[in-house]
Amino acid sequence: MTQHFDIIVIGGGPAGVAAAIRGVQLGAAVGLVEKKHWGGFCLNRACVPTKLFTATLERTKTIRTAAKMGFPNAAATLDPSALFKLKDELVGYFSMGTQGLIKAKKVTPIQGLGRLAGAGRVAVDEKIYQAKAIIIAAGADWARPSFPGSELEGVINSSQFLKEGRIPPRTLILGGGAWAVELGQFLNACGGQVMLAVRERGILPHFDQEIGQRLRSILKSSSITIHNSCSIVSLVKDRGGLKAILSVKEKEEAHLFDRVIYLDRTPALDGLGLETVGLSDLSTNDRLATKVPGIWAVGDAVGRIPFQSHRASAMGIIAAENALGASISFNDNIVPRVAFTSPQAASVGLTENEAEEAGYDVVTGAASMGTSPMAMIQDATNGVVKVVGEKKYKELLGVHVLAPFATEIIGAAALAIQMEATLEDLARSVLPHPTISESLADAARNALDWAIYIP
């Protein structure tokens, strides 16, 4: 007998779980299909394990600078096996927690490979389910590079690195995005030699240009090699490692590595059965509906870069509401971008370049971490808080942070933009001292030409 649901969600990651729970909250019968790992890519192979490593990086830095704080005998010696064991324990704990949450929220879990099987029909392995609405939250898969030699052992993605459980002595990381920098800084702190092969747009390409430039300087000061406009010409086995011929600004260089790590991903559309309903991709309108009535798409499967689990969750909630009769638009402009680098980077709204390209008469203001008491206490004075606004009406367009705790304070900035706050609103906000967050007000005052604590 065919089982019927109001909504079937394909994919048990952040987007799918949020969509399923929200659907049940609104009175719907919801089935949630997951082929393998409850919690999705973020929990099992990205956010949780990689942020454990960035936390380890910060602890390593704290120990190495402890002498300045009165601890002359502190020493940092990392036991990788203990760290990777803790990673497995945390992933297992949160995966079990996700399964428990799904059941507690009265979502029906369906284990297996889900695919579309015609209008209002989802096949899971050999069983057919019917639903009034289908939300596709299938996530993304690794996109293996295609340069000569990319098939060699030692060319791995970050999931495979996590499984290996060891620190390579020499690593080439392809890319300059958040994951690339986070991983590069961690391996560097563990004593490994690290090179970032960065494409045209540089470090943290989805952030304000000033943030990327400042972080690049920090990386170089820690002996991480960065090559812009860099690609791999070829890769061969050599002397127990991988010899890479790199094209760096149209000049070729040879380097030897133990691991080449790639981080690109692509929407996981293979085997979804899109053709059974007349879809060739998962492009959506602002309400997250696909071209086919009754089918919505959310999260990484939609292909909006950078992939972020908090964006995916927000999309899942809105898709469920719209599937049950609402008409809510998803606003990508209020989604924060974060990088758990050292120092952390966080951004929301328009960058300075984006605002100018959109036709705004732009005004900016910045507060350097060099004048922040908390940044000095944290020994991280090379960052900045920057605001972007519209000159005439003082609309707050964007906030960009490179500083300790940036990923924590960006939430307030996101709410300010969502509530259509002005530079004046932010400038007159009363923020605690001494904190990094008080630099939000300082930067806004600077944009309005009445900075108080900026020389």
Q: Which residues form the catalytic set?
A: 433
**In the structure encoding, which two tokens stand for residue 79, read together?**
């036991």
Residue 349 CB-half CA count within 13 A: 28
Beta-carbon contacts of residue 408 (< 8 Å; ≥ 6 apart):
none
Whole-number Å distance between alpha carbons of 1 and 439: 61
* Angle 405-406-412 from CA coordinates, rounded to 5°: 105
Whole-number Å distance between alpha carbons of 191 and 189: 5
Whole-number Å distance between alpha carbons of 388 and 399: 6
Q: Of 427, 377, 385, nearest to 403 (Cα)? A: 385
Q: What pairs with residue 134 in β-bridges?
A: 8, 295
Q: DSSP code of 383?
A: -
**In the structure encoding, which two tokens stand for residue 175, read together?**
């890319």
Whole-number Å distance between alpha carbons of 330 and 319: 9
**In the structure encoding, which two tokens stand for residue 84, read together?**
């990777």
Helix and strand element counts for the chain (H, E): 13, 22
**In the structure encoding, which two tokens stand for residue 436, read together?**
């990094």
Helix (H, G, I), strand (E, B) or coil at 409: helix
**In the structure encoding, which two tokens stand for residue 130, read together?**
């019917």
Whole-number Å distance between alpha carbons of 430 and 377: 21
Contact between 229 and 248 under an 8 Å Cβ cutoff? The reply is yes
Q: Which helix (H) or strand (E) holds 156?
A: strand 155-157
Whole-number Å distance between alpha carbons of 123 and 332: 32
